[in-house]
Amino acid sequence: MPAIFDPQSIAIIGASGNETKIGGRPIRYLRMAGYKGHVYPINPTRDEVQGLSAYASLSAVEGSVDLAIVAVPAAQVADAIQACADKGVKAAIIFSAGFSEVGDEGRALQDRIVSIARKGNVRLLGPNCMGAINTGNGAIATFSSGIVDRTPDRGRISLASQSGAIGAHCYVLANARNLGINKWVTAGNQCDLEVSDFLLHMASDPDTDVILCCIEGVNDGRKLTRALDVARANRKPVVVMKLGTSEAGAQAAQSHTASLGGSDAVFDAVLKQYGAYRAKTLDEMFDIAYACLQGGLPTNSSIGIVTVSGGGGIMMADAASELGLDVTPLEPAVQTALREIVPFAGTRNPVDVTAEIISRHELLYPMFELLAEKGGYGSVLTFLSHLGRNPAIIEALKPDLLRIAQVYGKDRALFLSLLYTDAVRADLEEMGFIVFEDPSRAVRAAAALTHFGRSFANQGAAIEPESHTLRAEARANLAPDRSYSEVEARDILAGIGLPFPAQSLATSAEEAAEYAAKIGFPVVMKIVSPDIPHKSEIGGVILDVRDGPATSQAFDTLLDRARAAAPNASLDGVAISPMLSGGTETILGVTCDPAFGPVVMFGLGGIFTEVFKDVSFRLAPFNRAVALSMIDETTGAAILCGARGQPRADIDALADALVTLSIFADQNRALLSSIDINPFKVFEAGKGAAGLDALIITSSGAGHSAPALHTDTPEKETAWRPAPKF
Amino acid sequence: MPAIFDPQSIAIIGASGNETKIGGRPIRYLRMAGYKGHVYPINPTRDEVQGLSAYASLSAVEGSVDLAIVAVPAAQVADAIQACADKGVKAAIIFSAGFSEVGDEGRALQDRIVSIARKGNVRLLGPNCMGAINTGNGAIATFSSGIVDRTPDRGRISLASQSGAIGAHCYVLANARNLGINKWVTAGNQCDLEVSDFLLHMASDPDTDVILCCIEGVNDGRKLTRALDVARANRKPVVVMKLGTSEAGAQAAQSHTASLGGSDAVFDAVLKQYGAYRAKTLDEMFDIAYACLQGGLPTNSSIGIVTVSGGGGIMMADAASELGLDVTPLEPAVQTALREIVPFAGTRNPVDVTAEIISRHELLYPMFELLAEKGGYGSVLTFLSHLGRNPAIIEALKPDLLRIAQVYGKDRALFLSLLYTDAVRADLEEMGFIVFEDPSRAVRAAAALTHFGRSFANQGAAIEPESHTLRAEARANLAPDRSYSEVEARDILAGIGLPFPAQSLATSAEEAAEYAAKIGFPVVMKIVSPDIPHKSEIGGVILDVRDGPATSQAFDTLLDRARAAAPNASLDGVAISPMLSGGTETILGVTCDPAFGPVVMFGLGGIFTEVFKDVSFRLAPFNRAVALSMIDETTGAAILCGARGQPRADIDALADALVTLSIFADQNRALLSSIDINPFKVFEAGKGAAGLDALIITSSGAGHSAPALHTDTPEKETAWRPAPKF
């Protein structure tokens, strides 16, 4: 990474004297930015390029070369990388297109380059990428056409983007919004270094305060989560924009890149679990980046609202509630005190200071003071409507606003929403306010800052110490490519402590009656056969069997049905278990996401899952707090908490089961393909829970272990193909 | 209304020589705007006010006065309005605060003013309002501090706001965004004229193309729906921002105004039903207003996307899908043709023209042409990323863009999203493009324009001719303040054609057995008593009774239970009806919204309604198309359409029932309080539906008939209290 962002010397292979060409632009940009290192244009046909001495080849350069920019046609790239390897170049940025993104031939070429680079210890960025920028030292290693007459402004936002075009759009947008960039990188085909590698770097970079990320998907989810973990530990907000969330978008993404990336719901859960914030629009991404830089992170999710207009207060309270912020009312005594200042003020929160402050600006401070001192709000948002465009009024208010910022800006995020002139905005920002014209955007930014504030205060999902014993025991001796029958799956899962009621396997009608009597009536009886995974479909389950004779009869019936439906099935017998009534049916599951590995799913049964998709996901393993949050996240959780007149369910038992399942999934990730515990009945509080059915499926084991850190991911493609002629 | 917006002469009662005072500002503004009518300052202590001759009283004015602005303390307002009545003034705008918004005394004062005005035929705006503006003739009848050195720019957007402060914020915001205002009004306490009156006026105003509306609620819903109907008929988009949607917001709204306004879900349904668009933020409201003015309304909901960046295309496709636009793929032949122009182009839709067009701008037109000619898209959105800030590139593209606008702008909404300079933006808008920096905002505007295009093409919810007979029959002879028992309610509803299975009322065990045999076993038996509305709670329902003796026994059991639970209840007997199995349980309901009158609700039973709030509403009466749309709107509709392996349900029968219920609700609106048909079972397609229980509750009838057009709504309040000293 130092070679990409902090090279002491840069060679441009395919350097052009034409400043508008792909091999000419970086030279122009490096000089424009005042890059202090050596710049070596490599061009066999010229002595001089843009006023610099040119070299016929990399080997002709006398000094060492940290970074090579490769801007030659695809067919010449392999030779260029070989030259880099021979010269001891640390990293190469390959602008050239025509690799994995254009099909098998390109992919083969790309594989060859990777192999040369590995042998020669050269790290690669690209191919088919737009390069990297470090505004701190002027290392502008890009050919982006977004640079016109000056290189990007310096700031404390760093950005890693898979797509070069989106990356370029972002730095131009950032600069247009007066936000500076620190480090910037686009990863293109990601044949070696990928977006997550750069996120990890930025997470520890002292010059980066906020990290932005635009991706379509990831191949190695653990690399991403590691980067997010480090960023969280270092209190650096990460804002992620994921492209390809809809079917139409994903279709376009497939033609744009061939990322695997897993399901969007899993990706969303991962970001939540690792404290990153997912922006839905570019505007939102930069709003949040701006707010993170401009203000402190709130320590709690309650928001105080001060407004010169009742309507504005309502609007912001609506937006805050929708985004999960608490618009906590002020105590009655505080409200009384507020009314002593302005008798007609709204005082509950929002506090409507009314247009009185236009003529009597001295009323603002004491009202703000009461709200801030007494309300305990993590953020305070003040709405001044159009007053920022009325010079006389805003000038009169400025001393009061400055005092507010000085006194209350230290341990609160202070937002101002008003229509402004550029000069007014600059003054207010100088005071320390986070300033937005649109009140709803201000609230949205407050919600994001609160997300980070809470996430940084609550680090990680590390499992509890008491779970470590479990961890050791949870590794099961699973065989590859198998579907474990209910009886086997129950045994395995009950063995690590998941609650499954006793079950006996009867091989005769007599045995059945005997076991049932031992278990206690009523019982449930199910056919057991490795060849009949879907028992209910053939009538292979009989519920509510109430006595001995009925048990024997049911045994025969089940065998008859099984033989009729699947004459060649091998039958193990009939499983007998107690008939449990009551409780709420939930579903616990595990899937293995191609990018992130084992993911635990929770949902309520039936239509909750099937029609409303009311399920939550978390990466395994996790602790109790995470389990509770994933229960809480579902709408159906209301039922477990006692909606519809039901007693409150045993959420503790449910959370324990999710934690145990997550540890099991983690410990068996090498072979695990999926687990279903459906239904998993949760009884009323104190009465536990019980799995009533279970299925474990394993895979061949290929691709499920953690990949090595330096991997080749040749399936990445991006369709942004720089026109060879620019 | 002409007196408010087109007065030939304006008197200012309480005129001030100080241009910054509430009675001084309108005079300054009128002169600044070049108002051509007579302006009469009324001030008993001065001969001259701001260079104009002043009059000691209204009666001293020799000519006639169309409009009076009242800017005197609350205590003097009644006299001022009396003077208006005596002078024959057509309308008065009351700026003064201190009326219903401050409590009972103020309310009484307000009532007195209304009564004087009615007798004297003076229409009132306010009190406690910020007045009105017509930029067309310079009638600037406001004291808003949003006017600094020029009055609002003229344009074709008109705005009606309940809150004065929000209204003022909006015109300042509009002007800051280079959007002009035509008519502008804030209704304050709405003691006479209210927001809906002005919406109706704007709906027919030839100078208004787009109507914006900010409200907290309405008292007379029919006035609002009439205005929306006229606007739709005149193809004028109405964008509504409703404040107070959240609990916190509504709490603030209650302290801000005392609007009734009904539930937010009903309000939302009304806007949908009447073709208005609900904006969630001010930014969105003005984005849509801008787009409506700048471009045509799409005739269908499919959107074509052209992009210079694969990632940008994905982003827009994601946003479009989320907002319900169809990102319809192009035919394979068209895709092949596109690849002939740029071999590496993404061609499915989004069409990724790639960075090739930077160096070869002539490629854009033929690619756009293929997409536009062959795709049949209602809107086309082109994403040019940061190219609008690169002068050389955008200048090269302009001729192609102009040709695109000229050829394809006539019958499509053409959006451009790019980072721009002001000059570039102006040029592109001049060509006819709807221009947005943020691609997601462009897509959101496209969705709103599509909403209007479709809404205007599909006018109204008028009931079908065949329903008119039903309408005549649907008026039931309901008594006030009654709860109709299941038997009565079923009879009434079955009488107008709603499907209820046969039911007989048995008064003895023998009768019960006899009736059950006639109906056919199995049967359901329920206790019938006007004093036991919730039968199930006392065990008053027995299901699945299978023969004669069981019927007689069940009869006795039900009577025993009823006597035990409610010894003094008068018992009518036991109702016997067939036990219907299968089908999907839904809920049909009617509530009487205080603002909008009878509203029909539809939802699936149980948790769908209770946990997910998965219900839809429509104002009664409505036609089949509306009924189908309200079914379709629920997530649970998937189950009726065959999710979870169920057969497709008889949606026709369900829609018929909703239409019939809506007509019944409408015809009986005077007394109706609520109807519940729960459950209403819908069987598989062709097998109809059946109500299994019903309840009708009537009210005293006060307040449910349609209010007269000119009503007093004294409960309106706004806390924006203009400081008396400005």
Residue A719 above 80 pLDDT?
A: no
In a domain, A680, yes or no: no
* Residues 276-305 in A contacting B (C-alpha not used; CB under 8 Å): 280-283
Nearest residue of B to residue A325 by CA position?
B248
How many other C-beta atoms lie within 10 A of the C-beta of residue A411? Answer: 10
Average pLDDT over residues A167-185: 96
Q: Among B551, B579, B607, give the residue marking a domain's end.
A: B579
Q: Do B721 and A249 touch (CB under 8 A)?
A: no
Distance of alpha carbon B59 from alpha carbon B88, whole angstroms: 10
Structural tokens at position B326: 């169809």
Smallest Cα distance from B487 to chain A, Å: 27
Nearest residue of A to residue B245 by CA position?
A318
User: Are A98 and A246 in the same domain?
Assistant: yes
Residue A723 above 50 pLDDT?
A: no
What is the number of CB-based contacts under 8 A between chain A and chain B? 321
Residue B323's pLDDT band (boundaries 50, 70, 90)? very high
Question: For A81-116, b where at least 16 C-beta lie within 10 A, e where not — what string?
Answer: bbbbbebebbbbbbbbbbbbbbeeebbebbeebbeb
Residue B465's pLDDT band (boundaries 50, 70, 90)? low
User: Are B492 and B506 in the same domain?
Assistant: no
Structural tokens at position A477: 């001796």
- Interface check for A433 against chain B (CB to CB < 8 A): the answer is no
**Tell me, what CATH number does B488's domain have?**
3.30.470.20
User: Are B49 and B190 in the same domain?
Assistant: yes
Q: Do B165 and A309 touch (CB under 8 A)?
A: yes
pLDDT, tens digit (0-9, with 9 covering 90-100), for B501-526: 988 899 999 999 999 999 999 999 99
Q: Do B148 and A718 touch (CB under 8 A)?
A: no
Q: Do B322 and A246 touch (CB under 8 A)?
A: yes
Residue numbers of the domain that contains B307: 296-456
User: Are A196 and A340 in the same domain?
Assistant: no
User: Are B602 and B526 in the same domain?
Assistant: no
pLDDT, tens digit (0-9, with 9 covering 90-100), for A64-99: 999 999 999 999 999 999 999 999 999 999 999 889
* Residues 517-576 in A contacting B (C-alpha not used; CB under 8 Å): none
Give me the pLDDT at residue B251, please. 67
Residue B270: what residue type? V
- Interface check for A255 against chain B (CB to CB < 8 A): the answer is yes
Round the average pLDDT of chain B to a whole number and report it. 90
Residue partners of A85: CB distance under 8 A and separation at least 6: A116, A117, A119, A120, A121, A122
- Interface check for A418 against chain B (CB to CB < 8 A): the answer is no
Nearest residue of A to residue B217 by CA position?
A311
Q: Which residues of B touch A419 (CB under 8 A)?
A: 169, 172-173, 176
Helix H or strand E encompassing B184: strand B181-186
- Interface check for A105 against chain B (CB to CB < 8 A): the answer is no
pLDDT, tens digit (0-9, with 9 covering 90-100), for B520-556: 999 999 998 878 877 878 889 998 899 999 999 999 9
Residue A149's pLDDT band (boundaries 50, 70, 90)? confident
Q: Which residues of B touch A322 (CB under 8 A)?
A: 245-246
- Interface check for A717 against chain B (CB to CB < 8 A): the answer is no
- Interface check for B240 against chain A (CB to CB < 8 A): the answer is no
Residue partners of A343: CB distance under 8 A and separation at least 6: none
Residue B235 above 60 pLDDT?
A: yes
Residue B723 above 50 pLDDT?
A: no
Of the ranges A117-121, A333-337, B249-253, B534-538, which one carries the lowest mean pLDDT score? B249-253
Residue B706's pLDDT band (boundaries 50, 70, 90)? very low
Q: Do B255 and A346 touch (CB under 8 A)?
A: yes
Q: Which residues of A touch B347 (CB under 8 A)?
A: 255
Q: Among A259, A290, A325, give the residue marking a domain's end.
A: A259
- Interface check for A410 against chain B (CB to CB < 8 A): the answer is no
Query: Whole-model pTM?
Result: 0.90
In a domain, A685, yes or no: no
Distance of alpha carbon A476 from alpha carbon A498, whole angstroms: 14
pLDDT, tens digit (0-9, with 9 covering 90-100), for A539-561: 899 988 999 999 999 999 999 99
Residues A94 and A104: beta-carbon distance below 8 Å: no
Q: Among B209, B238, B259, give the residue marking a domain's end.
A: B259
- The dihedral built from the CA positions of residue A10, A14, A19 and A25, taken in this order, carries a sign that is negative
User: Are A232 and A372 in the same domain?
Assistant: no
Smallest Cα distance from B373 to chain A, Å: 21
Residue A254's pLDDT band (boundaries 50, 70, 90)? low
Give me the pLDDT at residue B275, please. 93
User: Are A313 and A242 in the same domain?
Assistant: no
**Tell me, what CATH number does B450's domain have?**
3.40.50.261
User: Are A389 and A333 in the same domain?
Assistant: yes
In a domain, B270, yes or no: no
Give me the pLDDT at residue B384, please. 96
Distance of alpha carbon A588 from alpha carbon A569, whole angstroms: 29
Distance set, CA B307 to CA A190, A509, B230, B314 (Å)? 23, 70, 39, 9
Nearest residue of B to residue A246 by CA position?
B318
Q: Comparing C-alpha atoms, which of B331, B404, B394 is closest to residue B367?
A: B404
Residues A477 and A665: beta-carbon distance below 8 Å: no
Residues B143 and B14: beta-carbon distance below 8 Å: no
- Interface check for A323 against chain B (CB to CB < 8 A): the answer is no
Q: Which residues of A touch B101 (CB under 8 A)?
A: 344
Give me the pLDDT at residue B703, please. 54
In a domain, B646, yes or no: yes
Of the ranges A105-109, A554-558, B646-650, which one carries the lowest mean pLDDT score? B646-650
In a domain, B133, yes or no: yes
* For testing contact with chain B, the best of A147, A394, A607 (most B CBs within 10 A): A607
Residue A725 above 90 pLDDT?
A: no
Any alpha helices (H) in A409-438, and if so which ranges? Answer: 422-431
Structural tokens at position B519: 């109906």
- The dihedral built from the CA positions of residue B574, B577, B583 and B587, taken in this order, carries a sign that is negative
Structural tokens at position B359: 């160096």
Smallest Cα distance from B156 to chain A, Å: 21
- A544 phi, psi to nearest 5 deg: 55, 50
Q: Do A354 and B723 touch (CB under 8 A)?
A: yes
Give me the pLDDT at residue B262, please. 54
Average pLDDT over residues B357-380: 94
Q: Do B312 and A391 touch (CB under 8 A)?
A: no
pLDDT, tens digit (0-9, with 9 covering 90-100), for A476-500: 889 999 888 788 899 999 999 999 9
Residue A376: what residue type? G
Percent of the residues in chain A that have a pLDDT greater than 70, as a whole number: 93
Separation of first and last alpha carbons in chain B: 28
**Tell me, what CATH number does A26's domain have?**
3.40.50.720
User: Are A102 and A155 in the same domain?
Assistant: yes
Q: Do A438 and B391 touch (CB under 8 A)?
A: no
Distance of alpha carbon A115 from alpha carbon A120, whole angstroms: 9
Round the average pLDDT of chain A to a whole number and report it. 90
In a domain, A537, yes or no: no
Exposure on the CB side of residue B348, measured as CA atoms within 13 A = 18
Counted domains in chain A: 2
- Interface check for A440 against chain B (CB to CB < 8 A): the answer is yes
pLDDT, tens digit (0-9, with 9 covering 90-100), for A302-341: 999 999 988 899 999 999 999 999 999 999 999 999 999 9
Q: Do A321 and B249 touch (CB under 8 A)?
A: yes
pLDDT, tens digit (0-9, with 9 covering 90-100), for B97-107: 899 888 889 99
Percent of the residues in chain B that have a pLDDT greater than 90, as a whole number: 73
pLDDT, tens digit (0-9, with 9 covering 90-100), for B171-180: 999 999 999 9
- The dihedral built from the CA positions of residue A628, A634, A635 and A636, taken in this order, carries a sign that is negative
Residue B718's pLDDT band (boundaries 50, 70, 90)? very low
In a domain, A383, yes or no: yes
In a domain, A72, yes or no: yes
User: Are B438 and B537 in the same domain?
Assistant: no
Nearest residue of B to residue A393 by CA position?
B145
Q: Comparing C-alpha atoms, which of A382, A238, A248, A257 is closest to residue A308?
A: A382
How many other C-beta atoms lie within 10 A of the C-beta of residue B456? Answer: 18
**Tell me, what CATH number does B510's domain have?**
3.30.1490.20
Distance of alpha carbon A333 from alpha carbon A532, whole angstroms: 69
User: Are B510 and B598 in the same domain?
Assistant: no
Average pLDDT over residues A629-646: 84
pLDDT, tens digit (0-9, with 9 covering 90-100), for B654-700: 999 999 999 999 999 999 999 999 899 999 999 999 999 899 999 98
Give me the pLDDT at residue A713, please. 33
Give me the pLDDT at residue A251, please. 66
Average pLDDT over residues A436-458: 94
Average pLDDT over residues A571-589: 91
Smallest Cα distance from B666 to chain A, Å: 32
Distance set, CA A402 to CA A385, A707, B169, B189 (Å)? 18, 53, 23, 35
Average pLDDT over residues B296-319: 93
Smallest Cα distance from A558 to chain B, Å: 24
Distance of alpha carbon A3 from alpha carbon A121, whole angstroms: 12
Q: Do B348 and A172 touch (CB under 8 A)?
A: no
Burial of residue B683 (number of CB atoms within 10 Å: 0-12, 13-18, 19+): buried
Q: How many residues does chain B have?
A: 726
User: Are B468 and B326 in the same domain?
Assistant: no
Bridge-partner residues for A52, per DSSP? A49
